[in-house]
């Protein structure tokens, strides 16, 4: 007689991949709309400087976190039912465990409460949930194409809206429900995402995938190049310089592994750089902003953090006292890096504890995290920035977890991508080329953005890496059968 458990288990195993892929697809779509949904439901309020900002509800974030946890639960259940634990004992899997241990140790020695350590570790590593879910799901080619088709449609919609925002101006931002017109004022498009850099990351990742697909085909159609051109035009509308630099680096990696199709790569780079230059040429706001930022970088290098006197004032401010020493405006990213380097030298191995410096978890736990006396007599100086977070993932990680944390994270990433690089060198499949280019892009962008821990980017990156590992496993099976 067959038991109930024996009858139910096969059905559960059969449906688990479909459920898991559906959850992953829903997560990828939700993170792309989360910020816009929040703004549509938000109440406009004035901040301390008189600017309109959105008082947004929190439940969209709760939905996102629930999706992550649901993906994790189904992944664990599926692997347990299929008894596939041995598949998850690779060097990369072991490195992730070591990284988690370093994060916990950093929290313990840095006096981070257990809850704060757990929240910070979750934010640092939630992309890994997506990575393991794709490996556990082992989706069919049809399932992958369906998910990527939906995401591609959303990417295309955002690209179109970004172009419209550049052409129409502020009414196009207001028509989408955006309240804060900061980016409209300097002509940087962000479509349905809340920051031009977020849209730039999304577009550049999609363009790297499209280029990887094109260079592995004998010929690229006009339709494909038209789509790429539209994405490149939209990328220029964001004026996300970090995304442009990361894209060019990703293209270089694709060319090296592909060992050919240099003309296609050169054309792709020429389109991206050409549109970016044209955007600067026709937009006085973009030129002014770029000039201001570049001047701020040189000023921060000339007068670094801590070198200014006590009675100083930025010369562009209208409220400077007559007796104040007027100094030029400096780029806060450089000033933050200078301060962060000094803090790291004081606690070089395991840092100040996860969840306590500069990131989203630190801000949510304590909006005045920067006043911690461990960060200096006056705390960590924000230099008048309206943002209360530090825009650099690597700086967050270095100060919070020290050299051991950064080393453990880099080793994990290396072990994630090393087998993909070897496979791509032998046989340059599109998904493998895309994965290597995507990780290269991510490592570079993370110097200037909190991308590897933000709500949007990890789901994208680790989807690409997860699919690359799925095809690694299938390639190994094909080789074994031969």
- 60-69, 77-86, 415-424: least confident range: 77-86
> Are 78 and 150 in the same domain?
no
| CA 320/CA 308 separation, integer angstroms | 15
Same domain, 151 and 278: yes
Residues 79 and 145 in one domain: no
Average pLDDT score over residue span 138-142: 92
Strands 43-46 and 52-55: antiparallel
- By residue count, the chain amounts to 482
Q: What is the pLDDT of residue 206?
A: 97
Residue 430: inside a domain: no
pLDDT tens profile 73-122: 999 999 988 888 888 999 999 999 999 999 999 999 999 999 999 999 99
Q: Please indicate, yes or no, if residue 335 is contained in any of the structural domains.
A: no
Condensed to tens digits (0 to 9), the pLDDT of residues 218-238 reads 877 889 999 999 999 999 999
In a domain, 165, yes or no: yes
Cα angle 74, 198, 439 (rounded to 5 degrees) comes to: 65
Mark whether 73 and 6 lie in a shared domain.
Answer: yes
Choose the weakest-confidence range: 34-48, 184-198, 314-328, 458-472: 314-328
For residues 257 and 151, membership in a common domain is answered with yes
Query: In sequence order, which ranges of 51-195 are alpha helices (DSSP H)?
Result: 59-82, 91-109, 114-137, 141-168, 170-175, 182-185
The stretch 205-212 carries a mean pLDDT of 97
Q: Is the pLDDT of residue 344 over 80?
A: yes
Considering Cα of 7, then 9, then 14, then 19, what sign does the dihedral take?
positive
Domain co-membership, 166 together with 246? yes
User: What per-residue confidence (pLDDT) applies to 53?
Assistant: 67
- Domain shared by 160 and 49, yes or no: no
CA-CA distances (angstroms) from residue 113 to 108, 120, 195, 353, 365?
Answer: 8, 11, 31, 9, 11
**Would residue 300 count as lying in a domain?**
no
Owning domain of residue 31: 1-83
Contact between 119 and 154 under an 8 Å Cβ cutoff? The reply is: no
Q: Judge whether 265 lies within some domain.
A: yes
Is position 234 within any domain?
Answer: yes
Q: Where among 61, 83, 105 does a domain terminate?
A: 83
Shared-domain flag, residues 196 and 269: yes
What is the domain count for the chain? 2
Over the chain, what is the mean pLDDT? 90
Among 242-251, 366-375, 414-423, which stretch is predicted with the lowest mean pLDDT? Answer: 366-375
Are residues 148 and 47 located together in one domain of the fold? Answer: no
Residue 8 confidence (pLDDT): 43
- Answer whether residue 244 is part of any domain: yes
Q: Where do the DSSP E strands lie in 229-335?
A: 312-314, 325-327
Q: Give yes or no for a contact between 60 and 37, defined as CB atoms under 8 angstroms apart.
A: yes
* Amino acid 5: pLDDT: 39
At 251, the pLDDT band (50, 70, 90 cuts) reads very high
Q: What is the pLDDT of residue 91?
A: 96
| Cα 235 from Cα 257, distance rounded (Å) | 25
Residue at a domain's end among 235, 266, 282? 282
pLDDT band at 45 (very low <50, low <70, confident <90, very high): confident
**SS3 of 168, please?**
helix
Share above pLDDT 90 across residues of the chain, in percent, rounded to a whole number: 70
CA distance linking residue 279 with residue 297, whole number of Å:
22
């Amino acid at each position: 007689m067959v038991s109930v458990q024996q009858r139910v288990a096969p059905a559960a195993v059969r449906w688990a991949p479909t459920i898991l892929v559906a959850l992953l697809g829903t997560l990828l779509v939700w993170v792309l709309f989360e910020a816009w949904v929040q703004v549509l439901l938000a109440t406009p309020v004035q901040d301390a400087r008189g600017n309109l900002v959105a008082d947004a509800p929190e439940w969209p974030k709760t939905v996102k976190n629930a999706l992550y946890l649901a993906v994790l639960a189904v992944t664990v259940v599926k692997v347990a039912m299929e008894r596939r634990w041995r598949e998850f004992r690779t060097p990369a899997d072991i490195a992730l465990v070591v990284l988690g241990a370093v994060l916990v140790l950093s929290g313990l020695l840095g006096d981070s409460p257990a809850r704060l350590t757990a929240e910070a570790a979750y934010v640092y590593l939630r992309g890994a949930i997506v990575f393991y879910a794709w490996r556990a799901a082992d989706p069919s080619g049809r399932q992958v194409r369906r998910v990527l088709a939906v995401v591609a449609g959303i990417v295309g919609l955002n690209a179109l809206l970004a172009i419209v925002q550049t052409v129409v101006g502020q009414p196009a931002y207001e028509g989408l429900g955006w309240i804060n017109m900061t980016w409209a004022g300097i002509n940087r498009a962000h479509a349905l995402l809340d920051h031009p850099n977020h849209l730039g990351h999304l577009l550049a990742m999609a363009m790297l995938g499209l280029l990887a697909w094109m260079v592995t085909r004998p010929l690229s159609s006009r339709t494909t190049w038209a789509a790429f051109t539209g994405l490149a035009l939209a990328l220029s509308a964001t004026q996300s310089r970090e995304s442009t630099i990361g894209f060019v680096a990703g293209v270089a990696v694709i060319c090296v592994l592909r060992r050919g199709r240099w003309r296609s790569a050169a054309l792709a780079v020429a389109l991206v750089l050409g549109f970016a230059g044209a955007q600067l040429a026709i937009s006085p706001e973009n030129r002014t902003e770029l000039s201001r930022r570049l001047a701020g970088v040189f000023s921060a290098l000339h007068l670094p953090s801590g070198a200014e006197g006590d009675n100083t004032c930025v010369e562009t401010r209208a409220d400077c006292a007559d007796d104040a020493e007027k100094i030029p405006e400096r780029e806060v990213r450089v000033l933050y890096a200078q301060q962060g380097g000094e803090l790291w030298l004081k606690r070089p191995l395991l840092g100040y504890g996860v969840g306590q410096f500069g990131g989203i978890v630190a801000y949510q736990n304590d909006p005045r995290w920067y006043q911690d006396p461990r960060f200096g007599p006056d705390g960590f100086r924000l230099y008048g920035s309206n943002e209360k977070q530090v825009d650099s993932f690597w700086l967050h990680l270095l100060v919070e977890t020290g050299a051991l944390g950064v080393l453990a994270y880099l080793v994990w990433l290396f072990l994630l991508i090393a087998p993909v690089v070897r496979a791509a060198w032998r046989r340059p499949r599109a998904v493998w080329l895309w994965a290597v280019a995507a990780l290269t892009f991510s490592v570079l962008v993370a110097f200037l953005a909190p991308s590897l821990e933000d709500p949007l980017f990890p789901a994208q990156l680790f989807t690409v890496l997860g699919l690359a590992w799925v095809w690694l496993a299938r390639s190994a099976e094909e080789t074994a059968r031969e």
